[in-house]
Structure 1
Amino acid sequence: MTPRIRSGQLCTVEPVDPATVEVGDIVLCKVRGAEYLHLVKAIRDGRFQIANNHGHVNGWISPAAIFGKLARVDP
């Protein structure tokens, strides 16, 4: 499976209110001290399940761990 975003591509991330994040959105989030772009797979009890594009679920994060939403990827 090809990644949606390849290493080195320029990504534009916009600030987001976590209350507006939906399943399928790609968000910039902090996980164990590092920042990543992850796909939102589920939302439950005010928390977000994040995953990569290869089907691996990384776990659950709080709204405070979300910094923005992917707006654009340049080639």
Structure 2
Amino acid sequence: MARRVTAGETVTFRPRGNSMIPLINSGDPVTVAPVRPAALEVGDIVLARVAGTTYLHLVSAIDHQRSRVQISNNRGRVNGWTGHPRVHGICVSVAGRPRPRTAGKQRSSP
């Protein structure tokens, strides 16, 4: 999925796991669109690679000076910091419900 989103495609898939409950339940269809990482805010849900693993998790902190974001699940576990090039997409809907504050954060071309 990450490669498709990085290439400019908007994708819908059903992630498995419980680390994002109640924001995303296991198996909920999510739609992820290409993102402009510099526009992200704390609380956005992103598809990002951290320390060799790709997660659909929350942005929990932002370091604009170093062009990176901290990724965490919805249960308080911090996965780590990752640079803007490894933030592939932003979650724009969960189970057919639009996510708040996604306008202006999507990238139109790779």
- Residue 29 (structure 2) aligned to one of 1, 5, 10: 10
Q: CA deviation at 1:31?
A: 2.8
Which has more helix, going by share of residues?
A: 2
Partner of 1:21: 40
Structure number with higher relative contact order (C-alpha < 8 Å, ≥ 6 residues apart): 1
- Taking structure 2 as the reference length, the TM-score comes to 0.61
Q: TM-score by structure 1 length?
A: 0.87
Report the Cα offset of residue 38 of structure 1: 1.0
User: Which structure 2 segments of 5+ residues have no match?
Assistant: 1-19, 97-110
* Structure of larger gyration radius: 2
CA distance in 1, matches of 2:56, 2:81: 14
Q: Considering only aligned residues, what root-mean-square deviation do their CA atoms show, in Å?
A: 1.6
Gaps spanning 5+ residues in structure 1: where? none
Count of residues paired in the alignment: 74
Match of 1:56 in 2: 77
